Structure 1
Amino acid sequence: MSATGADLRRGPFAEGERVQLTDAKGRLHTITLAPGKQFHTHRGYLQHDDLIGAPDGSTVTNTAGFEYLALRPLLADYVMSMPRGAAVVYPKDAGQIVTMADIFPGAVVVEAGVGSGALSMSLLRAVGETGRVHSFERREDFADIARANARAYFGEDHPAWTVTVGDLVEALPEHVEPGTVDRVVLDMLAPWDCLEVVGRALAPGGVLICYVATATQLSKVAEAMRDAGEWTEPSAWESLVRGWHLEGLAVRPQHRMHGHTGFLITTRRLAPGVTPPLRKRRPGKGYEGSEDADGTTTETIPGATAEEWTPEAIGERVPSDKRVRKVRRSVTG
Structure 2
Amino acid sequence: MTDERENLPPTTGVELKRGPLRVGDRVQLTDPRGRLSTITLEEGGEFHTHRGFLRHDDLIGSPEGIAVTNTYGIEYLAFRPLLSDYVLSMPRGAAIVYPKDAGQIVAQADIFPGARVIESGVGSGGLTLALLNAVGDGGYVHSIERREDFAAIARGNVDNYYGAPHPAWRLSVGDLADVLPESDSPGSADRVVLDMLAPWENLEVAADALAPGGVLIAYVATTTQLSRLAEAVRDSGRYSEPYAWETMQRGWHLEGLAVRPQHRMMGHTGFLLTTRRVADGTVVPERKRRPAKGSYPATAEDWTEDDLGERVPTDRKLRRTRRAVGQPRPDQQTPHN
Same-fold call, TM cutoff 0.5: yes
| Cα distance in structure 2, aligned partners of 1:70 and 1:129 | 29
Q: 2:93 aligns with which of 82, 85, 88?
A: 85
Q: 2:255 aligns with which of 233, 247, 252?
A: 247
Q: 1:269 aligns with which of 277, 282, 294?
A: 277
Per-residue CA shift, 1:75-116, capped at 9, x if unaligned?
A: 000000011110111110000000000000100000010000
Match of 2:40 in 1: 32
Match of 2:322 in 1: none
Within-5 A mapping of 1:1-333: 1-283=9-291, 287-289=296-298
Q: Identity over the aligned pairs, expressed in percent?
A: 67
Would the aligned equivalents of 1:287 and 1:301 in 2 still touch at CA under 8 Å?
Answer: no
- In the TM superposition, what is the alpha-carbon distance from 1:49 to its structure 2 partner? 0.8
The count of aligned residue pairs is: 293
Letter of the structure 2 residue corresponding to residue 207 of structure 1: V
| Cα distance in structure 2, aligned partners of 1:92 and 1:24 | 26
- In the TM superposition, what is the alpha-carbon distance from 1:64 to its structure 2 partner? 1.1
| Cα distance in structure 2, aligned partners of 1:169 and 1:283 | 33
| Alignment CA distance shift 1:209-1:301 (3 Å) | farther
* Helix, strand or coil at the partner of 2:265: coil
| Cα distance in structure 2, aligned partners of 1:27 and 1:164 | 38
Say what the alpha-carbon RMSD is for the aligned residues: 1.5
| Cα distance in structure 2, aligned partners of 1:37 and 1:281 | 63
| Alignment CA distance shift 1:276-1:4 (3 Å) | same
- In the TM superposition, what is the alpha-carbon distance from 1:301 to its structure 2 partner? 6.5
Would the aligned equivalents of 1:112 and 1:135 in 2 still touch at CA under 8 Å?
Answer: yes
* Helix, strand or coil at the partner of 1:242: strand
Gaps of 5+ in 1: 290-299, 304-333
Letter of the structure 2 residue corresponding to residue 54 of structure 1: S
- In the TM superposition, what is the alpha-carbon distance from 1:281 to its structure 2 partner? 2.6
| TM-score between both structures, scaled by the size of structure 1 | 0.86
